[in-house]
Amino acid sequence: MTADLNYGDLFEAIAQVIPERPAIRYGDREIRWGEFDRRSNRLARFLLAAGLQTGSKVAFYLRNTPAYAELFAACAKARLTHANVNYRYVGAELLHVIGNSDAEAVVYDPEFAPQVRELRSRLPAVKIWLENAAPCLNEFSHALEDVVGSGNDAPLGNKRSGTDLYFMYTGGTTGYPKAVMWQHRDRIAVIGMSDGPDAATHAARVAEQSPGPVTLPACPLMHSTGFTTMLSALCQGGCIVLLPGGLFEAEACIREIERLAVTRVAIVGDPFSVPLLEYLRAYPDRHDLSQVTTITSAGAMWSAPCKRELLDYFPNATLADALGSSEGSGLASSQMRRGEEVATAAFRIGANVKVFTEDFREVLPGSGETGLIAKAGALPLGYYKDPERTARTFPVIDGVRYSIPGDWCRVELDGTLILLGRGSNCINTGGEKVYPEEVEEALKQAPGIQDAAVLGLPDPRWGQAVVALVRTAGNVAVDAEAVRPLLDQLLARYKHPKRYVVTGEDFRHDNGKVNYRAARALLDQMS
């Protein structure tokens, strides 16, 4: 039976028993648990006074700054629903997420003030705009620091529920993201508190322990990996370390790990490992990183060579490779320590996990069959405003409800799960999902480009690089710099092709659809 726990209750109870312990470190700033509690109380009261009610949605258009944690705590306390916004989105993408969520409040960093100003008139449901700056660049916004820095900081005294929601937007087959709806109690169960006590008893146990983990989520909080890492650390009464400026940069990351005695780090596979290793190779003896006990990765492939070399610099760390998604964590895991060897894409299958064929027949270990990974147990309710996709992704099989995000695998005789990838043409570049059709349609709007097929090719840093196979007038080369302004109007930068390959060959099926197998073969021939 899942305990009826709520993040707001947990944060409030923890703050009462460890008010002087650090909750957030951000550059030279330290926000202790007592201050974190008071600041989030003020913000929660402000949002309620602005007319938001239980279940109202709040859009988080923020980088990795203290505001993200404080705002989530405020939402949890006020029974409001978090909705993450990918800060790389532009134009229609941005409008879709904020509009689709039915957000009544938007909180944004000042660098996004121009985008907010442009979209404001098209989002009439938004009642309040909060800018993470003082003074605000947009005159219609309230300064977040003014709100959290003064006013009534007493506990709200409201009764919360484990069924309160938060949203986690993730990519959809059309290219537009969908909101995965998580209940607090189910997500708290995922991090290991399913049979736990009430909030007060949990907080008392936290107080009895030595200071909790010092955790650095290097990956964006607006993605599931960073967000879950943050919540897990705070629920343990720990401290989260956020990089200066809210952005990942290898040198700054290593310096903060050492300076603040970080014990746990969260990254996204090779896209983060490669720049970290480049810096560490250049300065092999500059830093002592021996206090790090765990480096966790999720969201992108993490190669064995990267793992092996990281352990040369983090000698006491366990590298934890987690397979999961916004639709369900704990699908499978892999751990590696110094002196050990673990194959890439080989995982231990998680609890309540099975593998099914597309017709829901269970795949037996050692059968050689491929199937889809399915997770039971604590799961999201489904997708916001999308019952059809909910039914597809969360089917009931033999009376048990599963999450099947779409990962294909094979199960060895010893139970080892070999990840094969997504069955669709979705590209995973640096932990970001890119849908080829969306990029193809944008490219075809560029002068001179007649047709395009977009694929993900292996890349040592990004896992997959977005590559465009194009047909052009006169087979002339594509000027990437000339195309970029147009793409900037249509796509986030991570969706832009990193390479263009011109061909005179046809790469479509007779029915007009892109023949991705043929396109890939053409790229292989021309490489």
- 453-472 pLDDT tens trace: 999 999 989 999 999 999 99
- Across residues 33-60, what is the average pLDDT? 98
Mean pLDDT across the chain: 92
> Which pLDDT value is given to residue 160?
97
User: The domain 427-526 is classified under which CATH number: 3.30.70.20, 3.40.50.1700, 3.30.300.30, 3.30.70.260?
Assistant: 3.30.300.30
CATH of domain 7-184: 3.40.50.12780
Name the residue among 158, 132, 126, 125 with its Cα closest to residue 45.
158
Q: Find tokens 């231990």 and name the residue.
A: 348
Alpha-carbon distances of 476 from 104, 251, 293, 429, 481, rounded to whole Å: 49, 40, 53, 27, 15
Name the residue among 71, 84, 80 with its Cα closest to residue 42.
71
Q: Domain coordinates of the chain in residue numbers? A: 7-184, 346-422, 427-526
- Across residues 242-263, what is the average pLDDT? 97
Alpha-carbon distances of 276 from 221, 401, 419, rounded to whole Å: 19, 40, 25
> Which pTM does this prediction carry?
0.86
CB 85 within 8 A of CB 97: yes
Class of the CATH domain delimited by 346-422? mainly beta
Same fold, 7-184 and 427-526: no
Hey, what are 89's tokens? Answer: 């989105």
> Which pLDDT value is given to residue 3?
72
SS percent in the chain: helix, strand, coil, step 5: 35, 25, 40
For the chain, percent of residues with pLDDT exceeding 70? 96
Q: Find tokens 């969706």 and name the residue.
A: 495
> Which pLDDT value is given to residue 173?
43
- Across residues 278-297, what is the average pLDDT? 97
Is residue 174's pLDDT more than 50? Answer: no
CB 314 within 8 A of CB 292: yes
Q: 416-427, pLDDT tens digit by residue?
A: 998 876 666 788
Hey, what are 249's tokens? Answer: 């940069």
